[in-house]
Structure 1
Amino acid sequence: MPREIALLGVPSCAGTHGPGQEKAPAAVRAAGLVEGLRSAGLAVRDHGDLPAVPFRTDPEHRNRQNLALVTDVARSVADRVGALLDGGALPLVIGGDCTITLGVTAALVARRPDTGLIYFDGDVDLSVPDSTVSGVLDTMVLAHLLGEGAPELAGLGPRTPLLTADAVTAFGHDPVEVNAAERERLARYGLRTHPCTGLTAPGADPVAAARAVRSDLAERYAHLLLHFDVDVIDSTELPLADFPHFNQGLPLAVALDCLAEFARAPQLAAVVVTEINPLRDQDGSLVRTLTDGLVRALAGAPE
């Protein structure tokens, strides 16, 4: 019998570019996530949602938009996810913007310090307030996990940094979107990366690459956190992400196959799904496609 999956919605736009992501948890439920997982033989308990946080701008803090609000949401996520972990469940956290991963990581590291992170995302999110253009905090998640940026977020958990660069692999990002400051951080940290351009090059085997990433982290870390931002998928095929990547990113089928490969890790300790924007999906078909893919990935038997 697999561990019980503990579903938690975080309908927050505190750290994102525009409205819509606060509707994601309800949309994914309506598309049949819970029923699909149960039909696949998994035990699921729906723990509802944290309070909704609508989108707003913060003209008074242009390089760190809504920092106090993002910090409050991340702390609430850490508290709720911590309780789910203490109960022995596998948290499945549906956002909401990428900053919720800060709270999930803080909860995990507090209980399982030996945690590695698969950052399956269309961006490396290594901006900081001093080098940002937008000031949007979900472009800064990985930087804060590695101890840079706003102290309120970098110091969210039981240690700073929450994770060392050795514990992180970035998978699927679009190198065109990596700015000069982020490139400097990538080089300085020596971060393990698998950009989408390499994964989709002629002769490449992206699923084998995902398997190698999973195996490498599993050999070095007892627990794994899987962060999945849907903007890693080519927006020409699935224009659902809040920050689209048209004619870039991974094909839909490839991304879902890689997600399934990551989800097979016996060390999997939590899963975060972010950037779903139902406002981009008038008939609900895109959310249903993604939800079906999530079910298939999470239902895969661990090796």
Structure 2
Amino acid sequence: MKKNISIIGVPMDLGQTRRGVDMGPSAIRYAGIVERLEQINLEIEDLGDIEIGSRERTAGESNLKNLKAVAEASETLSSRVDEVVKQGKFPLVLGGDHSIAIGTIAGLAKNYSNMGVIWYDAHGDLNTGETSPSGNIHGMPLAVSLGLGDPALTGIGGTGTKLKPENIVIIGARSLDEGEKVLIKEKGIKVFTMHEIDRMGMTAVMEETIAYLKDRTDGVHLSLDLDGLDPHDAPGVGTPVMGGISYRESHLAMEMLEEANILTSAEFVEVNPILDERNKTASVAVALMGSLFGEKLL
């Protein structure tokens, strides 16, 4: 992994209905992300936050909530991420809700022809307007990156598919909608549900993930939703699901990714300080980033 890291904050709360996740980037900074990474001799450039539009009162012609504002912010983020990669730096994106991954992946895709993605999340985020029970775009970014969904989203960063389904690994899934289950089977997407994590152990899951992606991709992006962790360890998220990945299992996963040296970008999303306990979830995010970038216990 690169030692020069550019932080991009995306204070987006438009991809879902619960307020507060727009304060996620500030909470993560307050929890000391810059200082934490500088202590392990990394060069950190904080590019600040991108501007986010206003919440829309009506859905317009689409059932997707805040479509225009989400699309505009995603286009801005796509350009910012593209610039960072072209400067030879590691983009570290702080959310915000998970709809921001649409812009992150679109920007990355301009620089990789065969990019892999590790989707660390309780949810598949593989819905489209047709399958989504809510119309919340934060449940759609992975589908959008596969070229599925509203053209206002799939066209961000240029038309075309940003990801191949065989280059995706979902880790920690335990809440999938029916349409997502169909798509996973149809596209052959590799998924480690909590059943596999419980049965195999996180070491085997990460070994298999790394081996699966290492030779087939020219870059690997980590998209980590804090609701992938159990709510006991990460309470400050908008859509908590019981029975998640533990704090220590998550550290192990990050440590193994650092040792494998396959990541070229990362984002941490869905930290909601309003729903949190004394900024606990943001502090967990910062601790996991420390492990991801090489912090050692000894």
TM-score by length of 2: 0.93
Contact 1:75 1:156 in 2 (8 A): yes
Give the structure 2 partner of residue 191 of structure 1.
Answer: 189
Contact 1:42 1:299 in 2 (8 A): no
Rate the CA distance shift 1:139–1:58 in 2: closer, same or farther, 3 A: farther
RMSD between aligned residues = 2.0
Q: Which moved more, 1:123-132 or 1:282-291?
A: 282-291
For the residue of structure 1 that corresponds to 2:227, the secondary structure is helix
After TM superposition, the structure 1 = structure 2 runs for residues 39-188 of structure 1, keeping only pairs within 5 Å, are: 39-53=39-53, 58-60=58-60, 63-174=63-174, 177-188=175-186
Distance 2:288 2:146 in 1: 30
Distance 2:166 2:5 in 1: 28
Distance 2:270 2:74 in 1: 16
Give the structure 1 partner of residue 28 of structure 2.
Answer: 28
Percent of aligned positions that are identical: 25
> Does structure 1 residue 205 correspond to structure 2 residue 204?
no
1:220 equivalent among 209, 216, 222: 216
Q: Which moved more, 1:55-64 or 1:12-21?
A: 55-64
1:286 deviates by 3.4
1:224 deviates by 0.6
Distance 1:173 1:280 in 2: 22
1:52 deviates by 4.3
**What amino acid sits opposite 1:272 in the alignment?**
E
Distance 2:132 2:191 in 1: 21
Q: Which moved more, 1:158-167 or 1:123-132?
A: 158-167
Rate the CA distance shift 1:256–1:195 in 2: closer, same or farther, 3 A: same
2:233 equivalent among 230, 237, 244: 237
For the residue of structure 1 that corresponds to 2:103, the secondary structure is helix
Contact 1:11 1:53 in 2 (8 A): no
Q: Note the alpha carbon deviations across 1:258-292, whole angstroms, 9 max, x for none.
A: 13323444332110111110112242233223312
TM-score by length of 1: 0.91
Give the structure 2 partner of residue 254 of structure 1.
Answer: 249
Unaligned ranges ≥5, structure 2: none
Give the structure 1 partner of residue 11 of structure 2.
Answer: 11
For the residue of structure 1 that corresponds to 2:48, the secondary structure is strand
- Kindly tell me the number of residue pairs found equivalent between the two proteins: 296
1:121 deviates by 1.1
**What amino acid sits opposite 1:186 in the alignment?**
I
Distance 1:18 1:253 in 2: 28
1:207 deviates by 2.4
